[in-house]
Amino acid sequence: MQTRSESASNSIRRGHLVAAHRAISLFPAEDSCLTINQGRAWVTLNLPQVVAGLDDLVLKAGETLRVPAGTHLVMEPWASGDALRFDWCVLPVPEPSGRFAREVARPTRELGMALGQVAVAFARLLRGVLGYGEFLVAGRGRVLSRFESNQP
């Protein structure tokens, strides 16, 4: 059972934890921000848009790193016996302003997202129907016994 002071100190700790002797691998789809809250982190970035794409960094508590979309990030505690605590947030995408953005670009993006959802739903429907078709066909084409047939 935790005392009141222990539960209060646990609630102050925030972020994600990487235990000692562990590593974490992240593949952000959007531009993101990594902030180290506790400990030191050994971070390896694989930047696909750069020819010599590997980059090793050591970040300490309080430091922040901007991670571009499409990057492969591997992170582990720097010291072998220490744990690492960090925050991860997705950076907001600035909305273009103006009439074109409002009346053309945004509806185009929404239509693309909707068509993507339609494609996923259609694929799931097709997979379900084909799987159900096997159930409907099961048992057909077999010879019926004299008890199952309608003889005159």
Percent of the chain with pLDDT over 90: 33
Which residues partner with 73 through β-bridges? 26, 45
Whether 70 and 127 map to the same domain: the answer is no
Domain limits for position 49: 4-90
Residue type, 122: F
Q: In the listed set 52, 68, 90, which residue is the last one of a domain according to the structure? A: 90
**Residue 131 domain flag:** yes
Contacts of 95 (CB under 8 A, 6+ apart): 101
Establish if 50 belongs to a structural domain. yes
The reported pLDDT for the residue numbered 141 is 57
Same domain? For 62 and 115 the reply is: no
Count structural domains, the chain.
2
Do 19 and 39 belong to one domain?
A: yes
Question: Which of the two residues, 144 and 100, has the higher pLDDT score?
Answer: 100
What is the tens place of the pLDDT at every residue in 89-124?
999 877 777 888 888 888 898 999 999 999 999 999
> Is residue 146 included in any domain, yes or no?
no
Is residue 100 located within the same domain as residue 72? no
Residue 148 domain-assigned (yes or no): no
- Judgement on whether residues 13 and 66 belong to the same structural domain of the protein: yes
Same domain for 54 and 102?
A: no
Residues 106, 65, single domain; the answer is no
Could you tell me the CA-to-CA distances from 122 to 110, 115, 130, 131 in Å, in that order?
18, 10, 12, 14
73 within 8 A of 44, measured Cβ to Cβ? yes
| 112/50 same-domain check | no
Q: Is residue 86 part of a domain?
A: yes
Question: Alpha-carbon distance 84 to 74, whole Å?
Answer: 13
pTM score over 0.75: no
